[in-house]
Amino acid sequence: MTPPLASQRTGTDPLSAPEQGLWLALLGAALGLFSLALLLLPQQLAQAPAHRGLVVLHLAADGSLRLWNRPLSPQQLPGLLQQAGRLNSQVRVRLIPSPATPWAMVQRFIPLLEVSALPFEIQLPVPDPAS
């Protein structure tokens, strides 16, 4: 014998309180995991070159250096490169000047990179199409 139609569960019935609590908990956990992924993904992408043995230095037009979005003084650079060479003998250094950086400023940093005895490269910025 089948139960009466009124007691059968249909797709339009409201959820009971325990079911609502379960769905809210699952939704909260999913939202938390999504937020954590949004927080950690940019950091992972920024540090991805380091996992490939590449130290990326960004040179601003005013002569300031950044490593992984942290300021770095030119005096700290030789020690940092020596430490990177000790940790990984295959490490390479890439200097990326901003488009507004004068070439004389880039040339000022080349001797600091040559002292480290690590292979280095300079990634020239893409020229502005307007200029």
* Span 87-108, pLDDT tens digits: 888 889 999 999 989 999 999 9
Whether residue 44 lies inside any domain: the answer is: yes
Give me the percent of the chain exceeding a pLDDT of 70: 85
80 exposed, middle or buried (CB, 10 Å; 0-12, 13-18, 19+)? middle
Whether residue 111 lies inside any domain: the answer is: yes
Total tally of structural domains belonging to the chain:
2
Same domain, 59 and 101: yes
Domain membership of residue 85 as a residue range:
52-122
Q: What is the pLDDT of residues 1-11, one digit of tens each?
A: 555 555 555 66
Q: Which residue has the higher pLDDT, 116 or 1?
A: 116
Whether residue 7 lies inside any domain: the answer is: no
